[in-house]
Chains A and B, each alone.
Chain A
Amino acid sequence: MQRAHIDIRLQGLAGAGAAVVVAIALGAGPALAAPAGAPSPLAGYWINTTPRTLKAGPVVKGTPTFRTSDGLLIPLLPEVAKMLAERRNGGEDIVAKPHFGADGGAAAPAYKLPCLTPGMPSVAAPWPPYPIEFVVKPEQVSVLLGFYRNYRIIRMNTDHPEDPDPAFMGDSIGRWDKGTLVVDTVAVRPETVILGAIPHSDQLHIVERIRPIGKNTLESRITIDDPKTFSKPWTTTSRFKKENISDIPDYACGLDK
């Protein structure tokens, strides 16, 4: 086939593409048989191995404190810390429950319906560790959740809508930063809580940085930012191990008994 000379230079640049062209030419597009590529390192089933719950700490300078069970002081605004302490002192067991909903939703007084997913940020590092699966495509990463057998959709390389509808899972967009999946979530419904008890405002902004460590471990660094709840953003790190399973089981809520 005759080509202009400039075409030959471009072909040189796209040398790696030559094999691709041949494959497409031979394979006639969509009817090709099984692909040869390896799956993304994030692909597959994972179990959270980092337990984390809310713990009450001592009163410091007149203000109650709360920590994660692995020792991180949560930078609560004083009025939020006092509200949590009041609920606890009023007999509400706000620190014993790792998530909202498993016991009929008693942890968050504002919203007591059973069988309701805890949504974000809880499902970013589910505890108890129901399995999750990442399904990785260039335009969308889907996270299938064993928790209530729901899913999250992370739309890749795009923006949040101007006025997103609040959702339990929020609105998530993502991009790859080399091998790390960076997920940005806003518009989380006010009914969700953090660590089973901490309410949040409509300013809640969650960033996850998820990357593989070796073949069988993922690390997710989750930064929570809500200027109406916390005095500054704070970050926890959770690790996930690969699970050799091939399905997400039913979650025993929301099913006919």
Chain B
Amino acid sequence: MGALRKDNGMNVLKSIHQLLVRSAVVAAVALYGTSPAEAQNTAMAADSPKTNYPGGPGSLDGIWNAAAYTSVRMGRPDDQPRFVTDEGEPLPLLPWAAKVVKDRTPPGFNYLDDSLHRCIHRGMPYGVSTTVLSPLQIIEAPQQKQITVLFETFTAFRIINMDQNHPPHPTPSYMGNEVGHWEGDTLVVDTIAVSDKTTIMSVVPHSVNMHLVERIRRTGPDTMEDRMTIDDPATFSKPWSVTERFKKVPGMRMAEFICENPE
């Protein structure tokens, strides 16, 4: 005890710090009914993008921006688009789909001249495409069994219902019907019933039977990836994957983006 008395001040400071953290967590639990761990994760996620890594529930909260153009590139304005999967292969388009893409990308096609300018919502999976460069915000709300993704583009959103099955016959919609669950540090999102009026990367068609599986996880203190696997035997000869990469930019805020230039 004699030795401890010399360190009394430091121990008290440390304990006060611990008390404050615990109190904040307790307050969060009392006010919002969060679980202790979730409350702590929320308090920490709001403060620092470099926490909550390596990952798992609570690690995806925050505002994310495109880290880089992805391997599925649209090409330069004076170029034909080149589509490349994670494995470096061209998209396995069935002949009808390849023709559609060719018809939609005449010489001089500029990928910017697409649905963005016609104020058409993108839906999935284009919505998470990093060619957009607009931020998105992931909000984990486990008490509501939901993860919400807010897009700056068109002020659109996705609702991912956690730990649930798809309903028996979901009506096709732009974002599709999305359910998710955690596998260790990875959020697995399963999407079906995406309206065939949405596209992949603006020009690639898909059928209403497309099955999209995303594996989303933290890859570093301020980075995240979304590895998407697209399975649609009516459009592609085999499933294929592309990975979108995101990072946190300090001080980034979501801006309103209501499209005002309808065609």
Tell me, rounded to whole Å, the shortest Cβ–Cβ distance linking A27 to chain B. 5
Would B19 and A40 count as touching, CB distance under 8 A?
Answer: no
Please tell me if A150 contacts chain B, counting CB pairs below 8 Å: yes
Would A150 and B28 count as touching, CB distance under 8 A?
Answer: no
Q: A23-B37, A40-B33, A135-B148 are in contact. Are A14 and B22 (CB under 8 A)?
A: yes
Closest to A32 in B: B37
Neighbour of B120 across the interface among A38, A165, A248, A255, CB < 8 A:
A255
Would B115 and A35 count as touching, CB distance under 8 A?
Answer: no
Q: A30-B57, A250-B173, A255-B120 are in contact. Are A14 and B33 (CB under 8 A)?
A: no
Q: Chain A residues near B4 (CB, 8 Å)?
A: 2, 4
Q: A4-B4, A35-B34 are in contact. Are A135 and B146 (CB under 8 A)?
A: yes
Neighbour of A24 across the interface among B28, B31, B36, B43, CB < 8 A:
B36
Neighbour of A17 across the interface among B19, B33, B258, CB < 8 A:
B19
Binds B, one of A113-121, A207-215, A228-236: A113-121
Q: Chain B residues near A250 (CB, 8 Å)?
A: 173-174, 195
Would A114 and B262 count as touching, CB distance under 8 A?
Answer: yes
Please tell me if B46 contacts chain A, counting CB pairs below 8 Å: yes
Decide if the interface of chain A is mainly helix, strand, loop or mixed. Answer: loop
Would A20 and B156 count as touching, CB distance under 8 A?
Answer: no
Please tell me if B11 contacts chain A, counting CB pairs below 8 Å: yes
Closest to A7 in B: B15
Q: Chain B residues near A17 (CB, 8 Å)?
A: 19, 22-23, 25-26
Give complex CA distance A3, B22 in Å.
17
Q: A20-B22, A37-B33, A254-B154 are in contact. Are A246 and B161 (CB under 8 A)?
A: yes
Would A144 and B33 count as touching, CB distance under 8 A?
Answer: no
Tell me, rounded to whole Å, the shortest Cβ–Cβ distance linking A192 to chain B. 11
Tell me, rounded to whole Å, the shortest Cβ–Cβ distance linking A115 to chain B. 6
Please tell me if B132 contacts chain A, counting CB pairs below 8 Å: no
Q: Chain B residues near A255 (CB, 8 Å)?
A: 120-121, 174, 195, 197
Would A21 and B174 count as touching, CB distance under 8 A?
Answer: no
Give complex CA distance A66, B107 in Å.
58
User: Beyond the given A30-B55, A37-B32, A137-B139, could you list 13 further A-B residue pairs with CB under 8 A, ordered by the A residue number?
Assistant: A7-B12, A14-B23, A21-B22, A23-B36, A29-B41, A33-B57, A117-B155, A136-B141, A138-B32, A149-B157, A153-B254, A169-B155, A246-B161
Please tell me if A103 contacts chain B, counting CB pairs below 8 Å: no
Q: Identify 7 residue pairs between A and B in the complex whose beta-carbon atoms are under 8 Å apart, listed by A's number.
A: A10-B19, A11-B19, A31-B56, A32-B37, A39-B33, A135-B146, A150-B154
Tell me, rounded to whole Å, the shortest Cβ–Cβ distance linking A158 to chain B. 11
Decide if the interface of chain B is mainly helix, strand, loop or mixed. Answer: mixed
Interface residues of B in 121-171 (CB under 8 A from A): 121, 139, 141-144, 146, 148, 150, 154-157, 159, 161, 163-164, 167, 170-171
Please tell me if B243 contacts chain A, counting CB pairs below 8 Å: no
Please tell me if B79 contacts chain A, counting CB pairs below 8 Å: no
Please tell me if B235 contacts chain A, counting CB pairs below 8 Å: no
Please tell me if A247 contacts chain B, counting CB pairs below 8 Å: yes
Please tell me if A130 contacts chain B, counting CB pairs below 8 Å: no
Give complex CA distance A69, B141 in Å.
38
Would A20 and B1 count as touching, CB distance under 8 A?
Answer: no
Would A37 and B34 count as touching, CB distance under 8 A?
Answer: yes
Would A113 and B262 count as touching, CB distance under 8 A?
Answer: yes
Q: Chain B residues near A37 (CB, 8 Å)?
A: 29, 32-35, 38-39, 143
Q: A2-B1, A30-B55 are in contact. Are A39 and B139 (CB under 8 A)?
A: no
Tell me, rounded to whole Å, the shortest Cβ–Cβ distance linking A156 to chain B. 10
Give complex CA distance A207, B145 in Å.
29
Please tell me if B119 contacts chain A, counting CB pairs below 8 Å: yes
Give 7 closest A-B pairs by Cβ, nearest first.
A35-B35, A17-B22, A37-B33, A39-B143, A167-B256, A38-B33, A7-B15
